[in-house]
């Protein structure tokens, strides 16, 4: 394996304790990167760090338990990370939460929480670590959006809005920071087999039966192993790409949305009903 880019500094990775984040952390360690791994769940985060340190004793792995829905802990992170890492050359905004239910099913507080984690946390992390990225010889920011940052999806208004926001933020920021030698890779995963559906917030107006049906329906379309997704992301980094869509289904739906911008939502709703039995 040729030398992985950005190994001159550490990677800062949010949402590291499970799913794509955990798989990415393991892939980065295999490629020789020091890391500051971040999550709100301390136990799985420390377990991941212990495994990485045992398997890659030459690497520096620091852990940071942070609730990314709050601004103050994010602002304090760079100083905390610098205690363990001299340089930061990569920021991966991976942490995210889901929210099930139609716009009428969910509360404004639920929508604000989803935006706080999925959008504002990435913005705040980017602002906090921008001086470190600018100081690096070359640097990269990876923002994990979603298939739902490419298509408007019924039953996912809040989540879709947050992921479209990440897409727009990434596309605008890419041009702004290119003059500083910073690259931006936006990633749009499709159905990755994580706990995002099981851990999702559900709208206050949904019944218990609705909750179970929504979770079950989305678990049916989450099929790709997170390790496969993480490898695609890291291969895209090595190739210098700035945009990555993961899974064949996601690529097909991205094309559908571009070909039929006004009709794809109706088509997707019908397909979801056929595949899962849930009417959106």
* Bridge partners, residue 39, by sequence: 65
The pLDDT value recorded for residue 202 is: 59
pLDDT by position in tens, the chain (length 280):
458 999 999 999 999 999 999 999 999 999 999 999 999 999 999 999 999 999 999 999 999 999 999 999 999 999 999 999 999 999 999 999 988 788 998 899 999 999 999 999 999 999 999 999 999 989 999 999 999 999 987 788 999 999 999 999 999 999 999 999 999 999 999 877 665 555 556 566 655 445 555 555 554 555 678 999 999 999 999 999 999 999 888 898 889 888 888 887 787 777 665 655 555 4
- Phi and psi at residue 16, in whole multiples of 5°? -85, -15
Domain ranges of the chain: 10-248
Task: Collapse the DSSP code of 216 into the 3-class scheme (helix H, G, I; strand E, B; otherwise coil) and give the result.
Answer: helix
CB 190 within 8 A of CB 247: yes
The residue behind tokens 């099929």 is 223
Q: Is 241 exposed, middle or buried (0-12, 13-18, 19+ CB in 10 A)?
A: middle
**10-248: CATH architecture:** 3-Layer(aba) Sandwich (3.40)
**Residues forming the active site:** 159
Residue 112 to residues 58, 70, 106, 117: CA-CA distances in angstroms? 41, 12, 11, 9
For CA atoms 164, 168, 171, 174, the dihedral sign is: negative
């Amino acid at each position: 394996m040729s030398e992985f880019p950005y190994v001159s500094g550490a990677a800062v990775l949010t949402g590291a304790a499970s799913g794509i984040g955990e798989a990415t952390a393991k892939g980065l360690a295999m490629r020789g990167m020091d890391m500051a791994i971040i999550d709100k769940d301390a136990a799985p985060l420390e377990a991941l760090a212990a495994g990485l340190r045992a398997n890659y004793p030459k690497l520096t792995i620091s852990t940071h338990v942070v609730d990314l829905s709050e601004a103050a802990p994010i602002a304090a992170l760079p100083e905390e990370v610098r205690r363990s890492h001299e340089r930061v050359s990569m920021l991966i905004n991976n942490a995210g939460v889901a929210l099930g239910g139609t716009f009428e099913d969910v509360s404004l507080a639920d929508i604000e929480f989803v935006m706080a984690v999925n959008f504002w946390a990435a913005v705040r992390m980017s602002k906090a670590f921008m001086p470190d990225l600018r100081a690096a010889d070359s640097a990269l920011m990876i923002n994990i959006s979603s298939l739902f940052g490419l298509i408007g999806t019924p039953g996912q208004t809040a989540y879709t809005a947050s992921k479209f926001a990440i897409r727009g933020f990434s596309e605008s920021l890419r041009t702004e920071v290119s003059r500083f030698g910073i690259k931006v890779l936006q990633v749009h995963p499709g159905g990755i087999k994580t706990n995002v559906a099981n851990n999702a917030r559900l709208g206050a107006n949904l019944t218990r039966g609705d909750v179970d049906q929504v979770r079950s329906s989305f678990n049916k379309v989450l099929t790709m192993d997170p390790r496969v997704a993480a490898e695609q992301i890291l291969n895209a980094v090595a190739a210098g790409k700035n945009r990555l869509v993961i899974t064949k289904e996601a690529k097909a739906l991205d094309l559908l949305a571009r070909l039929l911008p006004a009709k794809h939502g109706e088509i997707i709703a019908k397909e979801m009903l056929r595949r899962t039995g849930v009417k959106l």
